[in-house]
Amino acid sequence: MTASVTGNAELASAARREQTRARYPDAEGYVERDGVRVFWESYGAGDQTILLLPTWEIVHSRVWKCQIPYLARHFRVVTFDPRGNGRSDRPREVDAYDRREVAGDALAIFDSLGVERAAVVSWCGGVGVLLAAEHPERVGALVEIAPDSPLTTDPGEQQGYSFDDLLDTDEEWAKWNRHFWLRDWPGFVEFFMSEMFSEPHSTKQIEDAVAWGLETDPETIVRGMEADWMLPRPHGSPAGWPWIDREQALALCARIRCPVLVIHGSRDRIVGADRGPAVAAAIPGARLLLLEGAGHAPHLRDPVKVNLELRDFLAAPTPTSSAWTRARARPKRALYVSSPIGLGHARRDIAIARELRNLHPDLVIDWLAQDPVTRMLEACRERIHPASTELANESGHIESESAEHDLHCFQAIRRMDEILVANFMVFHDVVSAEPYDLWIGDEAWELDYFLHENPELKNAAYCWLTDFVGWIPMPDGGDREEFLTSDYNAEMIGHIARFPRLRDRAVFVGNPEDIVPDTFGPDLPAIRDWTESHYDFAGYVTGFDPVTLGDRDAIRAELGYLPDEQVCIVTVGGSGVGGALLRRVIDAFPEAKQRVPGLRMIVVAGPRIDPASLPAGDGLEVRPYVHELYRHLAACDLAVVQGGLTTGMELTAAKRPFLYFPLKHHFEQNYHVRHRLERYRAGRCMDFDTSTPEAIAQAIAEQIGMQVTYRDVETDGAARAAALIAEML
């Protein structure tokens, strides 16, 4: 499977948008030296300070996005943008880019923040070695990731192309040429970043790095390269000889006395696989960690492994006292990780948890969850793990990715990568400190992905739940999106094939017929065939049995709905993405009221939309989050909803008519959910773009109170899921 790494210039430009961060700085500012301003950020408040150094001018400090949230929970973390990129200045003088100037920037930031001594983590640039050798009183420990040093020749040097001459080719490392940079900087950046990530399935990391590289310009990069050459070149050396020669590099390494860890990938195509070992051998007492199969940027491609190695090496303080309980004396414990993207997961997970306790009354369940899921858990008096407060906000990220009734779900989850890393690290800290018999992840993408990337971290039984399988491209995404979704599907299939027992149980919340009749992509298997081979099926989990709700008239009376009212419930779930639909339906209310005598519309804003931001009026009420909303849905005469699965299936189970509006570009709602609802012959699907308020009013009038002929929804899904999970206890 091959494709252009960024697709085209338009995609590269789109990739430059700032993603929602997993953690924002506690302080930020500038230091100024000789008229050059350098931007810094500080995170956390630990006793020990960690400086994450920039590399050369081609990228800025966001290269540390996967390390900052984790390390900042244990240390004070400082980063800064190098001269020439990010929010730092781009001086026009060549000598402003000398490596010692960058080292001087680091020391100036130390002084401005009152940092006497720090551990330094460096990636490629060589400044970490310079600081540790020439300023030993300021560096307490050093980590060198894929170090840059003239101790060995790199792949580009081995091809022997001139940097200064106008070449008659631009193949491969011939692109490392000033004329090519000035002529086609995006072309060089795409080539270089593709070489940097030699690992398969690295499309997101490449896109990020390309975006960072496009935040500077080739003239700045050329000045940086010229600054590297200010020393006289040895006779016969190629253009682009580094800022020090081999003997000077050896002398610098020999002067380092602090503890040193060198991390290097065996498939490094930028500086070569032998450079890290050579640097480790040159530094007295240095420890080498060789990552087999890794490329030049393991902190971005294998962040969990690198994060854990950094924390262990940098020795965060540990409690002076601890306790241990013999295994047979421990209660049975499960850690439940429930996706915060929509409240449907929480409702079904609570139902499954209750059934699990029926089978194992002694089972203690802790929840690792975040708002808005925690609101429902608190209302049900479930036990929320204190570490939940450390989780980065996934719902907030999804909302930041949405437009008017439009959410490109696949791309939004791709761009949530640093949040997923941060949240997996929280999970890992929890399960490392406390023994659990079972982990349950309901569409906890970070848990499933990073366990398969780091299977050695699994130390309990693990159950994965989901109600859909397979990323599906949207039609207007073209070849690029088809390639990306296929690549993501292929990586997942490869994970399961390589580690078939990592998921002790995979449970599909539904039936085989609910699976879409599509393939995972070109040359990949059919989704239904593959899923039937790798999942158990629980049937759908509504979280309630319609029979137990009792008489509908009694429910209406209890909820305050009068017999002669035609009640229309409008709800869009637990996120803020559905605000546009709420407003469109509210605009339709006056005409709908004329068409439907006795119409009473209840608009449920949910936990993340301010009810005060929505208009109300006679016969139109706006309510905030409503506990046990399914009871109101069972009592209504019509519901108007988004395209989410949970609400749609609750209405299907309760046999109530409803209109649903799938979000544009939301592949799950447009394909997986719609396929399932059509199988149940449930609901009327409507297009938001073409549904004017008048059209919605007419649809309300046509559908309200209508008798339906839906398929029955099974009522034992929670019990069946719990029975499958309980076998692992």
Give per-residue pLDDT as tens, 579-606.
899 999 999 999 999 999 999 999 998 7
Q: Which amino acid is at 253?
A: C
382 pLDDT above the threshold of 60 = yes
Q: Which pLDDT belongs to residue 10?
A: 42
pLDDT band at 376 (very low <50, low <70, confident <90, very high): confident
310 pLDDT above the threshold of 60 = yes
Give CA separation, 657 vs 649, 679, 684, in Å. 11, 15, 8
Neighbour-count burial for 566-582, b at 16+ CB within 10 Å, e otherwise: bbbbbbbbbbbbbbbbb
DSSP letter for 387, please.
G
User: Do the strands 505-508 and 461-466 form a parallel or antiparallel pair, or are they unpaired?
Assistant: parallel
Q: Which pLDDT belongs to residue 527?
A: 98
The CA distance from 630 to 722, in Å, is: 21
pLDDT band at 262 (very low <50, low <70, confident <90, very high): very high
Q: Which pLDDT belongs to residue 19?
A: 74
232 pLDDT above the threshold of 60 = no
Asked if residue 699 lies in contact with residue 570, where contact means CB atoms within 8 angstroms, the answer is: no
Q: Quote the distance between the C-alpha of residue 704 and its chain's center.
A: 40
Asked if residue 570 lies in contact with residue 604, where contact means CB atoms within 8 angstroms, the answer is: yes
Asked if residue 628 lies in contact with residue 677, where contact means CB atoms within 8 angstroms, the answer is: no
Give per-residue pLDDT as tens, 47-71.
899 999 999 999 999 999 999 999 9
Give per-residue pLDDT as tens, 631-667.
999 999 999 999 999 999 999 999 999 999 999 999 9
Q: What is the arithmetic mean of pLDDT over 409-422?
A: 95
Asked if residue 207 lies in contact with residue 78, where contact means CB atoms within 8 angstroms, the answer is: no
pLDDT band at 4 (very low <50, low <70, confident <90, very high): very low
Q: Which pLDDT belongs to residue 153?
A: 87
Between CA 703 and CA 709, with CA 708 as vertex, the angle to 5 degrees is 150
**Percentage of the residues of the chain whose pLDDT score is greater than 70:** 94
The CA distance from 470 to 527, in Å, is: 7
User: Do the strands 638-642 and 566-571 form a parallel or antiparallel pair, or are they unpaired?
Assistant: parallel
The CA distance from 449 to 432, in Å, is: 18
**Percentage of the residues of the chain whose pLDDT score is greater than 90:** 78
537 pLDDT above the threshold of 60 = yes
Q: Which pLDDT belongs to residue 652?
A: 96
Q: Which pLDDT belongs to residue 9?
A: 42
Contacts of 442 (CB under 8 A, 6+ apart): 336, 337, 338, 339, 345, 348, 349, 465, 466
The CA distance from 24 to 392, in Å, is: 10
The whole model's pTM is what? Answer: 0.93
* 317 or 391, greater pLDDT: 391
Which DSSP helix (H) or strand (E) runs through 314? Answer: helix 303-314
Residue 181, helix vs strand vs coil: helix
The CA distance from 19 to 28, in Å, is: 18
Half-sphere exposure of 32 (CA within 13 A, CB side): 2
What does the chain come to in residues? 729
Q: What is the arithmetic mean of pLDDT over 262-288?
A: 96
Q: What is the arithmetic mean of pLDDT over 275-288?
A: 96
Give per-residue pLDDT as tens, 171-229.
999 999 999 999 999 999 999 999 999 999 999 999 999 999 999 999 999 999 888 64
- Which residue carries 């880019």 as its tokens? 97
Q: Which pLDDT belongs to residue 5?
A: 46
Residue ranges and CATH numbers for the domains of the chain are: 24-318 (3.40.50.1820), 327-540+720-726 (3.40.50.2000), 546-703 (3.40.50.2000)
Asked if residue 328 lies in contact with residue 521, where contact means CB atoms within 8 angstroms, the answer is: no
Residue 634, helix vs strand vs coil: helix
Asked if residue 141 lies in contact with residue 120, where contact means CB atoms within 8 angstroms, the answer is: yes
Q: What is the average pLDDT score of the chain?
A: 91
Q: Which amino acid is at 559?
A: L
Helices 417-433 and 445-453 meet at what angle, rounded to 10? 80
Give CA separation, 536 vs 440, 466, 505, 720, 727, in Å. 15, 11, 8, 10, 13
Give per-residue pLDDT as tens, 328-344.
888 999 999 998 877 77
484 pLDDT above the threshold of 70 = yes
Q: Which two tokens stand for residue 141?
A: 């420990």
The CA distance from 83 to 105, in Å, is: 9
pLDDT band at 574 (very low <50, low <70, confident <90, very high): low
Q: Which two tokens stand for residue 684?
A: 């009327």
Please state which of the ranges 126-130, 179-183, 240-244 shows the lowest mean pLDDT. Answer: 240-244
234 pLDDT above the threshold of 70 = no
Q: What is the arithmetic mean of pLDDT over 671-684?
A: 97
The CA distance from 666 to 408, in Å, is: 5
Q: Which pLDDT belongs to residue 233?
A: 39
The CA distance from 437 to 235, in Å, is: 65
pLDDT band at 238 (very low <50, low <70, confident <90, very high): very low
pLDDT band at 240 (very low <50, low <70, confident <90, very high): very low
